[in-house]
Amino acid sequence: MAFLDINPLNPGHALVVPKKHYRWVIEVPQFGEYWEAAGKIAKASQKALEADCVNFSVLGDEVPHAHIHVIPRFKNDNIRAVIDWSRRKKLTQREMEQIANSLISALKKMSFLRKQESSSLSFRT
């Protein structure tokens, strides 16, 4: 499952979480499939948002649930190798909805969503 971060480092910053609770990413039994899901979100970000590249971050200290940050990167975005999490942005509801719709559309076009998944997608802030 993936959703947009409400305080993103960049537009399209998403979190990928397993549906079942695991404290740490390393505990997720389908570890490879979990990372494949994050990779699909990253590819959709590059296509839909024209990101130059995508960074992944796995910390785990800030929330007690396994999650992978998928962070689209853009030229001159001033994000460095060591991420300054205080540089998060605040996007409007409309901007978040546009980004979500763009990502969903890209995931569909890239055949990364099965029919039943795409019919149940929604976005909430």
20 within a domain of the structure (yes/no): yes
**How does DSSP assign 50-87, residue by residue?**
--SEEEEE---SSSSS--EEEEEE-TT----SS--GGG
Domain total in the chain? 1
| pLDDT confidence bin for 121, thresholds 50/70/90 | very low
| pLDDT confidence bin for 73, thresholds 50/70/90 | very high
What residue numbers bound the domain in which 69 lies? 2-75+85-119
Q: What would the pLDDT profile of 41-55 be if each residue is shown by its tens digit?
A: 999 999 999 999 999
Rounded to whole angstroms, how far apart are CA atoms 104 and 82?
29
125 within a domain of the structure (yes/no): no
